[in-house]
Amino acid sequence: MYVLFDVLHLYYLPQYLPVQKKLAEHNVKTAFVFYRSVQDDILEQIAAEHQLEYVWVENESQASDYYTQENADWVFFANGFDHLDKLHQVSKSAQIGHGIGPKSCYYTASDSAMTVRFVEGDYRCQRLRALYPENEFVDVGYSKLDSIINQQEPGFDLQQLGLDANKPTLIYAPTFYPSSIECFAKDWPADFVDFNILLKPHYFSIAKEKYHKQKALLEHWATFENVYLAKSTDYNLVPFMASADILISDASSALFEFAALNKPVIWCDFLKLRWSYRGIFSYRFKKRMDEDFGEYANIAVHAKSYKDLRGLVIEQYQQPKLLEPIRLQLAEKLAGRLDGKATDRVVDYILSHS
């Protein structure tokens, strides 16, 4: 058997690598298709570290030509792909989600039908089947979390990061848009000197020029001695989640992943919105969010402004079980079965449908 992984963005790898590793245990040949970008050196480093076979393409058209040439049994995607008709002449396609956040694009990613889409939980599976009754959806869970659930991810050695292992640790993991980054106090790490702070932004905040103001703030915060800013090679949120006691974010997948592990999360409601998303145009922001956004919001305590943040962090650190019943109630709805076997279910399906 031969399986390919379409890596349009670096942040797809945390979903792909557990599946690739498990396939390799079954002697399945695999390869990764990397798209040229500013991340080329990082991707090559990751490929060397994990001993991955890979090729480079410039765009989806080149990727499509390559897939036709390779005639693989399966090609994995983490989002839509515009050349499925051509691909399906030679291979089957599988979609595995790159996040579990509340954005409506989670569902519209199935506008083009893959051979199968692996889904996180029965609730989302049923919604997708209602929207796309002709498509194949299989409830497997969320493979990205398997290594934490199975206690195979030790997290970071905080001392090696220059942090204090005796302090509690929080992650600030904002998304790129709409984001809270530019609404934080310029020197906010000084307000949290009794905590280690792991900064894990979306890589667009670091890599894309249009978000250069976010990058400048992140690099400024990294100068504080209680802060570690994720390097470009720190593409995977999993070791950050394994190392932290509390997560701060906005409406990001990271927030829901951390909450699914039954750890406290603080949701920043203070966001920098483009003018085209404000006032009479606020419907555009709401349109980006899923219809379940309101219910999902109950999984966290909410900071209405930066000045609320310190008090909420202390409260959640001292009383981590405050929202535990809601986290446990929503965990399956967000991420599916949290038994550490999501990757096994993906691979079992692939092997039995070759």
Judged against a pLDDT cut of 80, whether residue 293 lies above it is answered with no
Q: In what order do the strands lie in the sheet with 74-77?
A: 54-57, 29-35, 2-7, 74-77, 92-96, 116-119, 137-139
Please state, for a pLDDT cut of 90, what percent of the chain lies above it.
Answer: 79
Instruction: Please report where in the chains the tokens 């949701």 appear, as a residue.
Output: 267
**Exposure letters 147-165 (e unless 16+ CB within 10 A, then b):** bbbeeebeebebeebebbe
**Exposure letters 71-91 (e unless 16+ CB within 10 A, then b):** ebbbbbbbebbeebeebeeeb
CA distance 181 to 186: 10
Please state, for a pLDDT cut of 70, what percent of the chain lies above it.
Answer: 91
pLDDT in tens, 57-81: 999 999 999 999 999 999 999 999 9
Can you give the pLDDT at residue 275?
Answer: 42
Can you give the pLDDT at residue 104?
Answer: 60
Q: What is the mean pLDDT of the chain?
A: 91
CA distance 182 to 216: 10
Specify whether the CB–CB gap between 336 and 139 falls below 8 A. yes
- Mean predicted confidence (pLDDT) in 247-268: 93
CA distance 36 to 59: 8
Strand partners for 3: 30, 74
Judged against a pLDDT cut of 60, whether residue 338 lies above it is answered with yes
- 106 dihedral zone (left: phi>0; alpha: psi -120 to 50; beta): alpha
287: confidence class by pLDDT, cuts 50, 70, 90: low
DSSP string, 127-195: HHHHH-TTS-EEE---GGGHHHHTT------GGGGT--TTS-EEEE---SSSBSGGGS-TTGGGGGTTS
Nearest to 202 by CA among 215, 189, 185: 215
Can you give the pLDDT at residue 251?
Answer: 80
Q: Which burial class, exposed, middle or buried, applies to 134 when counting CB atoms under 10 A from its CB (0-12, 13-18, 19+)?
A: exposed
Can you give the pLDDT at residue 314?
Answer: 98
CA distance 195 to 190: 10
pLDDT in tens, 35-57: 999 889 999 999 999 999 999 99
CA distance 221 to 215: 10
295: confidence class by pLDDT, cuts 50, 70, 90: confident
Task: Give me the phi and psi of 108, to 5 degrees please.
Answer: -70, -15
281: confidence class by pLDDT, cuts 50, 70, 90: very low
Full set of structural domains in the chain with CATH: 2-142+337-352 (3.40.50.2000), 152-333 (3.40.50.2000)
pLDDT in tens, 143-198: 999 999 999 999 999 999 999 999 999 999 998 888 999 999 999 999 999 999 99
* Alpha-carbon separation of residue 175 from 82, 120, 248, 252, 311 (angstroms): 25, 21, 11, 6, 23
- Mean predicted confidence (pLDDT) in 218-222: 97
Residue type, 132: Y
Q: Count CB neighbours of 185 within 10 A.
A: 12
Give every CB contact of residue 296 below 8 A, 6+ residues apart in sequence.
102, 256, 290, 330, 334
